[in-house]
Amino acid sequence: MSGPDFIPAPVRARLKDLRLAGRRTAGGHGFGQHPSRSRGAGLEFAQYRAYEPGDELRQIDWKLYARSDRFFVREAERDSPLTAWVVVDCTASMAQGDAARPGWSRLEAARALAACVFELALRQGDRFGLAAVGGDGLRLVPPGAGPRQRDRCLLELQGLRAHGDWPAETALRPLWERIAAGHLVLVLSDDFDEGTVQLCERLAAARREVLNLQILTAEERDFPFRGGHRFRDAETGAETLSDGASAREGFLAAFAQARRALSARLAASGIRHTAHVLDEALDAPLRRLLAASPAERA
């Protein structure tokens, strides 16, 4: 491939049993691995109907004609490709990493997770696109299919930088024009910006199928700090001096409550949600999000 490869070999090997699928998959014309409600020549038999002028002769069921002396055409469910979007948060807080994995930030994890989704879509013959939202506003790679589209998306991922704030709603207008009803949208973010959560809710309300994957650091999960520390907000620059040990219990309780509130809020909009911690295997959160049943996603 000509583009960069963000997927470690062991993770790539484990992707083979994962599948992108939407509950409201609409699909387009073409062949993929998702059943569509449109009728025509396909792979799965749907029904018979009476022959009409203009129908292809190869669609006539000649055995049924021999029994009934009437022409009937076999109709099938078309297999239609899914259109999947990956939305990557590129605001300043996505640059954060931690000591559990030096040199590995939220944005690095988002790049790799996005690459995994593109690989799944490529294997399934689906269409996929990329949207990056951050200090530069909105950057788009419109949906397409095939290896060249995969490489375009990977090259765009390579150029992303985490900086700035979540842009104004008007800057996201092209995203609304591109993402159609029935499209599958995976949002990769730390979900710390209210604008990110509102985007997920608005897309879901507009009949887009939304998956939300929150990217967290191991230090946010464990708060392993001891002694005096200076904590700095990556986006506002605000700093707080605190003793790590004395602040730990309060931080973990508040952080857990915030995560529960976010999960409940997203669930109320029908949005599937899970979290990925930077020291976790990349395919683990994808398995939870893409599992067929709620029990498997737990």
Render each residue's pLDDT in the chain as its tens digit; 298 residues: 445 889 999 999 999 989 998 665 444 443 345 544 444 444 455 567 787 665 667 778 888 888 888 888 776 544 457 999 999 999 999 999 988 888 999 999 999 999 999 999 999 999 999 999 999 999 999 999 999 999 999 999 999 999 999 999 999 999 988 999 889 999 999 999 999 999 999 999 999 999 999 999 999 999 888 776 666 666 666 767 676 677 888 989 999 999 999 999 999 999 999 999 999 999 999 999 997 545 544 4
Residues facing residue 216 across a β-bridge = 277
What residue type is assigned to position 252 of the chain? L
Q: Distances from the Cα of 102 to the Cαs of 90, 91, 212, 242, 279, in angstroms? A: 19, 20, 25, 23, 10
Q: Please say whether the beta carbons of 22 and 209 come within 8 A.
A: yes
Do residue 115 and residue 142 come from a single domain? yes
Taking the C-alpha atoms of residue 113 and residue 110, their distance in angstroms, rounded to an integer, is 5
On whether residue 200 sits in a domain, the answer given is: yes
Smallest Cα–Cα separation from 19: which of 76, 79, 78, 84? Answer: 84
Print the domain residue range for 95. 9-26+81-297
Statement to judge: residues 38 and 21 lie in one domain: no
On whether both 278 and 210 belong to a single domain, the answer is: yes
Q: How far apart are CA 296 and CA 29, in angstroms?
A: 31
Place of tokens 């967290």: 216
Q: In this structure, are 76 and 219 located in the same domain?
A: no
| Under 8 Å between Cβ of 90 and 135 | yes
Same domain (yes/no): 114, 185? yes
Q: Does residue 1 belong to any structural domain of this protein? A: no
Helix (H, G, I), strand (E, B) or coil at 130: strand
Query: What CATH number corresponds to the domain at position 260?
Result: 3.40.50.410
Domain termination site, one of 47, 80, 113: 80
Same domain, 283 and 159: yes
Residue 74 lies in a domain: yes
Does residue 3 form part of some domain?
no
74 plus 100 within the same structural domain:
no
pLDDT at position 74 is 73
pLDDT of residue 259: 97
Distance CA 266, CA 269 (A): 5
The per-residue pLDDT for 230 is 66
The C-alpha atoms of residue 153 and residue 82 are separated, in whole angstroms, by 17
First to last CA, the chain: 35
Residue 85 falls within a domain, yes or no? yes
255 and 193 share one domain: yes
The pLDDT assigned to 80 comes to 53
Q: Assess if residue 4 is contained within a domain.
A: no
The strand pairing partners of 230, in sequence order, are 241
Q: What is the pLDDT of residue 34?
A: 52
pLDDT for position 50: 81
Structural domain includes residue 170: yes
User: Residue 246's pLDDT is what?
Assistant: 77
Contacts 24+ apart (CB under 8 A), 95-98: 95/162, 95/163, 95/234, 96/190, 96/217, 96/234, 97/217, 97/278, 98/217, 98/218, 98/219, 98/220, 98/278
In whole angstroms, give the CA distance from residue 161 to residue 4: 16
47 and 161 housed in the same domain: no
Q: Are residues 252 and 292 in the same domain?
A: yes
How many structural domains does the chain have? Answer: 2
Asked whether residue 179 is domain-assigned, the answer is yes
Same structural domain, 100 and 234: yes
| CA-closest candidate to residue 117, choices 141, 101, 93 | 141
Instruction: Kindly state whether residues 100 and 246 are assigned to the same domain.
Output: yes
